Amino acid sequence: MTQEIFVLGYYGWKNTGDDAMLYSLLEGLKEVFSDSRFNITAASWPSTPADVNVNLIPPRVNPNFIKALLRSSIFILGGGTHFFDYGNTFKRIIRLTQILLLTLISKITGKDIYFMGVGVEPPSHVWSKFIIKNTCAMATKIFVRDSISMKVLGKMGIEENVELSQDLAFFLEYEKSVKTKGLLGVSVMPYHEIYMGDESGDEIIIKEFTRAIREWLEINPNNSVKLFVFNGKPPNDDERISRKILNILDDERVQIEPYNKDPQETLRKVGSCEAFVAMKFHAALFAYLNDLPTIIVEYALKNRALAHDARFPKGSLIRLEELDGKRLKKTIRDLHMNPDNYKAKVKPSDLRVSFPALIR
């Protein structure tokens, strides 16, 4: 009988980071579980390795979803920051409770439970700490993607069976690109609209990025910019805010790099840039994997965690609250003049560990 493995994650939603984590997860497990079928929760068919047996499970919990879970002998919570409580409280309660219940069902039915490449942010409420702590306590093994997540779990008393690893996208294989002189890659996102439901709050982000890009273009007439779309599905997409910036600038040297279903191709294209300004976490990670001078805008703790573990210089990290219409513009000029001051001190090859090993 074919062994089945259930993988829970935010897949098939046109999000490059999730696409990359899933691809790496399946690529990393296919040799050990070559004769297994992976039941993947996904809204649409994601990019997967050609030689892996994948069964797509729509993410809505229904009888088919539960049957696939019960048939599986292993439950995997795929990479990403599943454990946080900021933003819409009701939605977070629902999502965290769902993960708790699915983990509980897996525990009761005797499955091995693995949380792979996950991020954990400090809970700020009693209810979220209760859910996160009790969910993680049931896992057979937790592979966290950064040292801050490790400390957060430790403070909650979750230390046994926890191992420091990396984000699953860290293991993505791709072809290196030739860098284009003067090309700045940019990743921007509508933070306030997504997490606060306040689109007007993103005006300062638009103003800040517009001024910074204009500064980059004015430094050298041969400079150019690509606005990378890492999330292509409305209403949480990056494309609308990127197009607003594009329209304000009205400069042929600025282009949008559309969402690409193939995360390896996106990683390669990021590598063609000479420098990068990243708001999205996986944009920052892709820039790091390509050893680019990078400015990271910290909209969430995971961005700071990457900067900390990779030892980016202090000036590389800008908190969201520091965006005042001028902060990023000043930093862009220094990035152009002193690129080495914005490179991580720890090379990806030095930070990389082996792919998380699961016991079959």
| pLDDT for 106 | 98
Please state the φ and ψ torsions of residue 69, each to the nearest 5 degrees. -65, -45
What is the pLDDT at residue 1? 74
Distance CA 150, CA 69 (A): 28
Q: What is the pLDDT of residue 322?
A: 94
Rounded Cα gap, residues 182 and 335, in angstroms: 12
Cα 97 to Cα 128: distance, rounded to the nearest angstrom: 9
pLDDT of residue 229: 98
Q: So what's the pLDDT on residue 87?
A: 86
Give counts: helices (H), strands (E), the chain.
13, 14
The pLDDT value given to residue 224? 98
Domains of the chain, CATH where assigned: 4-173 (3.40.50.11820), 183-342 (3.40.50.2000)
d(CA 45, CA 54): 10
Residue 283: name the closest of 321, 228, 333 by CA.
Answer: 228
- Structure-token pair, residue 10: 């935010």
Q: 3-state class of 346 per DSSP?
A: coil
Dihedral over Cα of 338, 342, 348, 350: its sign: positive
Phi, then psi, of 242 in degrees rounded to 5: -65, -40
Cβ 46 vs Cβ 19: under 8 Å:
yes
Nearest alpha-carbon partner for 257 in 236, 237, 242, 279: 242
152 HSE (CA, 13 A, CB side): 25
Which residue has 């009790």 as its token pair? 134
Looking at residue 231, the DSSP 8-state letter turns out to be B
User: Which residues of the chain are modeled with pLDDT < 70?
Assistant: 359-360
Structure-derived torsion over alpha carbons of residues 84, 296, 294, 82, reported in degrees to the nearest 10:
10
Q: What is the DSSP string of 252-289?
A: TTEEEE---S-HHHHHHHHTT-SEEEE-SHHHHHHHHH
Report pLDDT digits (tens) over 47-101.
999 999 999 999 999 999 999 999 999 999 999 999 999 988 999 999 999 999 9
pTM across the whole model: 0.96
